[in-house]
Amino acid sequence: MTLASLLLASRPKTLPAAIVPVVAATALVHAEGFEAHMGLSLCAMFGAIFIQIATNFLNDAIDFSKGADTETRLGPQRVTQSGLMTGKQVMVAGALCLLVAAGFGVPLVLTAGWPILLIGLVSLYFAYGYTGGPFPLAYRGLGDLFVILFFGLVAVGGVYFIQTEVLRWSALVLGIQVGCLSTVLIAINNIRDMNQDVLVGKRTFAVRFGLLASRLEVIFLFLLTFCLSVYWVQQGLSSLAYGSMAAIPSASVVAYLVTTRPPGPFYNKLLALSAVTLILFCIGFVAGALW
């Protein structure tokens, strides 16, 4: 086990899905005239980052143990499958990350009370339950719904509630937008791996409903994200809508390529571009909030 192995297993390219909800929610708090407490936002962000890293560690070990990761995988290298770390080492590293995440959650619970405690406990469990446990979501075709809920509605709504002690429709709309863009990542990942997943009984959305439905899912997620920007215009926050449109060009490229290129290693580049789309949305949204 080396630092390089740990960094590889943490999957840094997935971390925007943990960071963007916190940053975007804090920007919304500022745009609506509330005082944004940066210390609380940082605790939420680092807590989310360590939960994401823990999920990646646990997923690495569990997928290998279930035969989902083999030497024929099309995605990035996995440390358990490649022998860089043992399954036990990866699981222990994941557990330690969950402990760190829980530590960052303490100030949030002390500030906002039991709702945040409940969110935190459920999030900690699903770091494992996403691929492990008696009902692994990723193996039941519920991964996409999970991402929309936890990387969108729960993450954005939770940060917004911590900062304001109220929950408005604006937080839910932003949560859906961020959740949809984050779900594009897992949708593309599942399209890439669908031929391997079906062999090990991993019934993702792509395996259950096929290639065409998965491609339409990606297009729908992008369309819903940008159509919801009309809400910001109606609320007199047009700058939020215009700023978030910075992500439309890259989203258009992803939508075009995912509908014209067959599943394969090329989808790793689409994953990276989808992450860029999420980041551009966040940057534009923050710029609009500051404006």
For the chain, give every domain's residue range: 3-290
pLDDT at 67: 62
Residue pLDDT, tens place only, 29-61: 999 988 889 999 999 999 999 999 998 888 878
pLDDT at 140: 78
What confidence tier does 1 reach under pLDDT thresholds 50, 70, 90?
A: low
What average pLDDT score do residues 190-201 get?
83
Residue pLDDT, tens place only, 115-132: 899 988 988 888 878 777
Closest CA to 254 of 176, 175, 187, 173: 187
pLDDT at 59: 83
pLDDT at 214: 94
Per-residue tokens: 244:
């978030």
Question: How far apart are the C-alpha atoms of 159 and 165, rounded to whole Å?
Answer: 10
Of 3.30.160, 1.10.600, 1.20.1340, 3.30.450, which CATH number belongs to 3-290?
Answer: 1.10.600
pLDDT at 280: 96
Which of 62-76, 191-205, 218-232 has the least mean pLDDT?
Answer: 62-76
Residue pLDDT, tens place only, 16-27: 889 999 999 999
- Report the mean per-residue pLDDT for the chain: 88
DSSP string, 62-79: HHHHTT-S-TT--SS--H
DSSP string, 131-163: TSSSS-GGGTT-HHHHHHIIIIIIHHHHHHHHH
pLDDT at 73: 54
What confidence tier does 249 reach under pLDDT thresholds 50, 70, 90?
A: very high
Report helix angle 87-112 to 38-65, nearest 10. Answer: 150
